[in-house]
Structure 1
Amino acid sequence: MKIIDWYILKRYLVTFLFTLLILIPIAIAIDVSEKVDNFLEHPNLGFSEILNDYYVNFTIYYTNTFMPLALFIAVILFTSKLSNNTEIIAITNAKVSFTRFLYPYFVGATLVTLLSLAMNHYVVPNSSKIRKEFEKKYISSAKQKNELKYVSDFSLQLTDSTYIYLRSFNVDTNSGYDFTSETYKGLELQSKLSADNLRFNINDSTFSLTNWRIRKIYPNHDSIFKGRKIDTVFSFTPKDLIYKSAFAQEMPSDELLDFINLSKKRGVKNLNAYLVELYKRTSLPVASYILTIIAVALAFRKRRGGTGVNLALGVGVMFVYVFFMKIGEVLGSVAGVNSLLYVWLPNILFGTLAVYLYINARK
C-alpha cells in the first residue's frame, strides 16, 4: 500500500470509530431515560449489576447494530472533506483511477466486515443472552413474561414415527397437562401413551407422568395399561417446546443451525423467523462493501453546499436501506416464502444502485 492508501485507510477507520462513539452514548442516554423507572422499582438492584449485566451487553449489541450506519456516515464525512479540500482533484490528476482510489476503502470495509461477522455469529448472541435475562428479570412486563412461560396446544415430531401433543406446559415449573405420545409404523398407529399431568425432573432429565394410560395395538387385539405414576424419558426438553424468534438472537450461529435442522426433523412447520436471524448475520456485514461504494460515489465529487448536502443525501439513502431491510425481515418470516431472498433483497437492490453509481463515477 502507498502513503495515500494508508492516509485514506487511517481516516476511514478513525472517522468510523468516532461516529460510533457519538451514536452509542446517544442510544445509552435514551435507553436510561426509558428504563430508569424500572431500575428504581427494584431497590436491591445495584449499579454494578445494571452496568455489567445490562449496559455492557447493550453497548455490544448496539455497536454491532450501528456499524453499517456509522460506516456509511463516516465514509460520507471524510470523503466529502477530501473533495472539499481538493485532495481528490490532486489524486485524479496523478492518473489514479476511481477503481484504484477505492482500494483503501475496500481494505477498511473488509476489516469492518470481518469484525461484524465475528460479532454477529458469536459475540452478540452470547451477549444478548445475558442482556435478555436481565430484561426478563427487571424490565419485562407480566404479559411479556407469560408469553415466554406458557405453551398451549403444542405438537412436536420427535422421530420419524413418534409424535407428542400437549394441551399446556409451564416452562418455569416444568409441568403441563393433557400429554399424549403416539408411535406409528407407516400410517398405522402402534401405541398411544396419555397422561393427565407431565413434569420434567431437572436432576435426572426424566419425565414423571401422572394418571397415565398406554394403549398398544396388535394385529388381532389391543392391550391397555394404566397407573397412577410412572417415570420415563423422551428425546426433548422443556426448552424445545418454546419456538420464539427472540430466542434465535441468543444462539450462536452453529447452535442456531443445529436447532433449525433438528426442528425440521421434528416437523416444526414455520422456522422462517429463525432462518431470517441466521441469514441476516451474514447479509448485514456484507452490506459494508455496498454502502462503502455508494458513499464514496456520492461524496467523490465536490458539490455546491459541501459536506452538509452529501451527508443529508447519504443519511436519506441509509434510512431507505434500513427500511427495506426491516421489510425484508418481516416478509421473510412469513411461512412458505424464501427467507434467503427476502433477507438479501436490500443488498441486491442497493448493490445494483452501487454498480450504477460506480460506473458513473468512473466516467
Structure 2
Amino acid sequence: MKILDWYILKRYLVTFLFTLLILIPIAVAIDIAEKIDKFLRDENLTFYEVAVDYYVNFIIYYANTFMPLALFIGVILFTSRLANNTEIVAVNGSQVSFTRFLFPYFMGATIVCFVALSMNHFFVPTSSKVRKAFEKKYLKKKKYADKSIKEFSLQLNDSTYVYLQRFDLKRNSGYNFSTEIYDGIQLKQQLTADNINWKEKDSVFKLYNWKIRKIFKDRDSIFSGTSLDTTFAFTPKDFNYKNILAQEMRSPELIKFIEISKSRGAKNLNVYLVELYKRTSLPVACYILTLIAVALAYKKKRGGIGLNLALGISVMFVYVFFLKVAEVLGGVAGANALLNVWVPNMVFGAYAIYLYINGRK
C-alpha cells in the first residue's frame, strides 16, 4: 500500500500546485490590465517596485486566498481521473477500505494545512503591509484612516481614563481633552485642556489652557496655565485603533493589540477577532474540503470529470458564500466571533461526515 500512498500523495500535491499556478497568472493578468495606466502615469515608479514591492506580495496574498479553491478543484480532478481509469476499482478489489484509501489524501491535507497556517499567521500579514503601502502611495489617493475622530474615550489602566471630544489625525490636534485618575470609584485627579497638539519630533503632547485638579480628603488643589508640554501613555495611533488594518498585523501582534485594546475599554473588537480566528479556520478546512472532494469524485459517473467538477464548484461556491456571511455576522458588535467563524466548517464538516459514511458503504 506504500506505493499507492506515495502515488496518491504525489499526485495530490502536484495537481494542487498545478491548479494554483493556473489561477495565479489569471489574477495577475486581470490586475495588470486594470492598473497598467496607473503604473505608467507615475514617472517616479520603477519596474522593480512594481514587480517586487507589489506583484510579489500580490502573488503571496492571492496564492493564500486561492489555496482552498485550488486544493478542492485539484483533488476532484485527480480523484475523478482515478475513477474514470478504473484505478479505484482495482483498489477496492484489493480489499482496501475507503478509510484507508483516504490516508494519503489526509497526509497531503496536513502538509497544505501546515503551509497555510504559517502563511496566514506570519507571512501574509507582513506581505500585505508592503503591498498596501505601495497601493496607498501609488494607486490610491485616499488614506485608509479617517481624517478625524469624535467622542473618543480610552482606558489606559484600571484607574486612568482619557476623553477627547474631537481629534484631527491629519493635523495631530484636538480639543476638549481630559484625563482622570481614580482610586476605586473615588476621583483623585483630573487634567483638562481646551486644545491638545501632538509634537511628533519631541514625542510630547502640548496642552493649551490646561487645568489640573487634585482632590484630597479635606481640600482640592487647582493649578492652571496657558501651555504645557507633557507625555502620556498613548500616542495619536491609539486614537485610530478602529482603522488599523488587522490584515497587516502578524498574529502575535494582533493578539497583543486585542489584549491592549480590551484593557483600554475598546467596545467592539470583533473585526480583529474574526481576522485572528479565520487564520486558523481556513487552513483546517483543508481536511473538510479534501474529504468532500474525494467523496464526490470517488465513484465513476456518466458525466465523468465534467460532472464532478461542476458539483465541486457548486459546493465551493456555497462554502465561500457561507464563509463571507459568517465573517460579516461575526464582525457585528455583540456577536460571538469564534462561533461565527467556525460555523461554515461545522456545517460542511457535517456534510463531509455524511459523504464519508455513504462512501464507506
Separation (CA, whole Å) in 1 of partners of 2:202 and 2:337: 39
Other-structure match for 1:78: 78
CA–CA separation in structure 1 for the residues paired with 2:35 and 2:255: 33
Q: Deviations over 1:149-181 (max 9, x none)?
A: 432221110111111112333444433333211
Matched residue, 2:175: 177
Q: How far did residue 20 of structure 1 move?
A: 0.7
Residue 55 of structure 1 aligns to which amino acid in structure 2? Y
What is the alpha-carbon root mean square deviation over aligned residues? 1.6
The match for 2:317 among 299, 310, 319 is 319
Kindly state the Cα deviation for residue 203 of structure 1 after the two structures are TM-superposed: 4.5
- Are 2:263 and 1:265 aligned? yes
Of 205, 208, 211 in structure 2, the residue corresponding to residue 210 of structure 1 is 208
Q: Secondary structure at the match of 1:194?
A: strand
More displaced stretch, 122-131 vs 149-158:
149-158
- Alignment correspondent of 1:27: 27
SS of 2:42's partner is: coil
Report the residue type matching 1:280 in the other structure: K
| Distance in 2 separating the partners of 1:313 and 1:331 | 27
The one-letter code sitting in structure 2 at the alignment partner of 1:361 is G
Q: 1:329 aligns with which of 324, 327, 349?
A: 327
Is there any run of 5+ residues in structure 2 with no aligned partner, and where? none
Structure 1 segments, 4+ long, off by >4 Å, are none
Q: 2: CA distance between counterparts of 1:269 and 1:68?
A: 33
Q: Post-superposition shift, 1:38?
A: 3.0
Q: How far 1:26 sits from its partner (Å)?
A: 1.1
Q: 1:120 to 1:358 in 2, by over 3 A?
A: same
Which amino acid is 2:125 matched to? P
2:60 alignment partner in structure 1: 60
Structure 1 residues 316, 201: CA separation in 2 closer, same or farther (over 3 Å shift)? same
Q: Are the counterparts in 2 of residues 245 and 274 from structure 1 also a CA contact under 8 Å?
A: no
Deviations, residues 212-259 of structure 1 (Å, cap 9, x unaligned) = 222222333332211122222211122222123661111111111011
1:249 aligns to what SS in structure 2?
A: helix
Match of 1:158 among 156, 159, 174: 156
Measure, in 2, the Cα distance between the counterparts of 1:294 and 1:334: 30
Matches within 5 A, 1:197-276: 197-244=195-242, 247-276=245-274
In structure 1, give the amino acid aligned to 2:241: Y
Give how far 1:6 is off: 0.8
- Decide whether the 8 Å contact of 2:145 with 2:243 is kept in 1: no
Report if aligned partners of 1:121, 1:252 keep a CA contact under 8 Å in 2: yes
Secondary structure, counterpart of 2:37 in structure 1: helix
Deviation at 1:90, TM superposition (A): 0.7
Letter matched to residue 210 of structure 1: Y
Three-state SS of the structure 1 residue aligned to 2:192 is: strand
**Runs of 5+ unmatched residues, structure 1:** none
Instruction: Give the secondary structure class of the aligned counterpart of 1:160.
Output: coil
In the other structure, the counterpart of 1:103 is 103
Q: Is the 8 A contact 1:245 1:273 kept in 2?
A: no
The 2-side partners of 1:285 and 1:221 are apart by 62
Letter in 1 for 2:102: L
Which residue number in structure 1 is paired with residue 42 of structure 2? 42
Q: State the TM-score, normalizing by the size of structure 2.
A: 0.96
Q: CA distance change for structure 1 residues 305 and 33 in 2, over 3 Å: closer, same or farther?
A: same
What TM-score, normalized to structure 1? 0.95
Amino acid of the structure 2 residue aligned with 1:137: K
Q: Does 1:137 align with 2:121?
A: no
Give 2:113's aligned amino acid.
T
- 2:345 corresponds to 1:347: yes
Partner of 2:190: 192
Tell me the distance in 1 between the aligned counterparts of 2:312 and 2:195: 59
Tell me the percent identity.
65
The C-alpha deviation readout for 1:26-68, integer Å capped at 9, x for no partner, is 1112222222333334221122111111111111111111100
| Contact 2:12–2:78 (CA under 8 A) maintained in structure 1 | yes
Residue 141 of structure 1 and its aligned partner are, at CA, apart by 4.0
